[in-house]
Structure 1
C-alpha cells in the first residue's frame, strides 16, 4: 500500500511540474510554443510521460486551463458583508479584468474557447463567489435583472473587455474603454436606489425571492410555490418594461 501511495504522489508531482512548465511556456512564448516536446524538455520528463498523464496535447491544455482558474481563485477576495454591494461588484469586475491583462495568454486559453476548463472545481468555486455578490445585490433590492442574467452580463462584459483590449494595438489601448464597459455593466445590472422604494412589484419580488431560502416560517412546499409566484411577478414586470 505504501508503494502505491508513493507512486500516486510521484505521479501528482510530475503532473504538477508539467502543468507549471506548460503555463510558463504559454506566458513567455505564447500558445504555439506549448508543444509536447517543448513542455517535456522544460519539465525534465520524456514526451511519453505527457501522453500518459494527459492523454494528448488537448488534455494538457485543459489541465493548464484548470490551473489558470485555480490561480485566479487564489487572488479573489470574497467579502461576506460588504458595506456597499455595488462597490463590491465593481471591485470584483476590476479584479477579473486585471487578471486577464496581467496573464493575457493564459486568459485567452481560459476564455477564448467555449466551455474549456468549466468543469474544474476552481471554476465553480469562482462562480459561487460571483453568485454570492449578485445575491447580496438582490437581497438589498438593488438588482435590476434576475440573478442568472446578471451573472451572464457580468461575465460577458469582463471577458469582452479583456479580449477586446488584448486584440488592440498598444497605441489604441485606452483605459477609458475598461471603465466605460464596467459602468455599462453596473447600469445594466443594478439600480441607483433599492427597488423596494419604487412603485411596482418587481424589485420587491426580487428582494423577497433572494431572502426566501433564509427564512424558516414556510414549509418547503410553500417556499417553492411562493418562489414561483415571485419569479412570475418579476418576469411579467420585466416583459412590460
Structure 2
C-alpha cells in the first residue's frame, strides 16, 4: 500500500512539472523552457525533475507528448466521412490548425530537430497518418506505396505549418495550405470511380499498381490461408508491382 502511495505521489509531481513546463512553453516559447525555470515554476528541486524525466531532452519529449494529447483530442473528435481521401484532407487541415493554435507545442514537436531523433509525439502522429493512408490504399484510392505517400504528406504538411507559424499573422497567406494539400493529395490518390491516377493516366500499369497496393494493405486486416513465408513472398511481389517504373 505504501508503494502505491509513493507511486501516486510521484505521478502527481510529474504532472505538476509538465503543467508548469507547458505553461512556460505556451507563454514564452522554447526559450523560456529552461530546467531552472521549470523547477521554479513547478516548485520542485532539481533532483526531482531529473528523476522524473532523466534529462532536459526527456523533459522536452514529455512536454511534446503533453501537447500531442491535445492534438489527439482534436483528431478523435473527427468522425469519418466514409471517403478516406476526404478524411486525409480534413486530417491535414486539423494538423495545420493545431500548429497555428498551439505554435510553441508544434515547434517543439516538429521544429526542434536533433539528427536521428524525433520526439515520441511526432512518431505517434506519423503512425496515425500512416494508418489513414493505409485505409486509402485498401479502398483502391492510392497509386504510390503507403510509406512513400505518408512521408510526402507529413513532410509537406509540417513544412507548410512551420512556414505559416514563422510568418507574422498579418502576412500569412491562408490559401497556401489548402493549395498544397490539394496538389499533394491529387498526386498520390485516385478519383473514386477511376482505376488510374487523378492525372488521367489510366494505363494498365497504373491499374495494376493500385490493385497491388490495395491487396498489400488488406493483407494486414485478417489472417489468410497463406503461411508467414508465403505472405512475405506475396508482399514482396505486390510491392514490386506497385513500385514506380
* TM-score above 0.5, yes or no: yes
Q: TM-score, normalised by structure 2?
A: 0.85
The reply on whether 1:57 has 2:59 as its aligned counterpart is: no
2:238 is aligned to 230
CA contact (8 A) 2:138 2:217 kept: yes
Instruction: Give a deviation string over 1:120-162, Cα, whole Å, max 9, x none.
Output: xx65554343222111211121102100011101111111011
Q: Distance in 1 between matches of 2:229 and 2:31?
A: 55
> Any idea what SS the aligned residue of 1:32 has?
helix
Instruction: Give a deviation string over 1:18-63, Cα, whole Å, max 9, x none.
Output: 0111011100111121222322222222344223322333332122
The reply on whether 1:209 has 2:216 as its aligned counterpart is: yes
Q: Distance in 1 between matches of 2:58 and 2:78?
A: 35
CA contact (8 A) 2:85 2:189 kept: yes
Q: TM-score, normalised by structure 1?
A: 0.86
Q: Distance in 2 between matches of 1:116 and 1:206?
A: 28
The correspondence of residues 4-153 of structure 1 with structure 2, limited to 5 A, is: 4-77=3-76, 82-114=81-113, 115-118=117-120, 125-153=124-152
Aligned length: 233
> Any idea what SS the aligned residue of 1:191 has?
coil
Q: Distance in 2 between matches of 1:3 and 1:35?
A: 33
CA contact (8 A) 1:141 1:194 kept: no
> Any idea what SS the aligned residue of 1:45 has?
coil
Q: Distance in 2 between matches of 1:80 and 1:176?
A: 25
CA contact (8 A) 2:140 2:210 kept: yes
Shift of the 195–113 alpha-carbon distance from structure 1 to 2, 3 Å rule, reads farther
The reply on whether 1:220 has 2:228 as its aligned counterpart is: yes
Deviation at 1:82, TM superposition (A): 4.2
| Structure 2, unaligned runs of 5 or more | 197-201
| Structure 1, unaligned runs of 5 or more | none
Higher helix fraction (1 or 2): 1
Q: CA RMSD for the aligned pairs?
A: 2.3
CA contact (8 A) 1:82 1:88 kept: yes
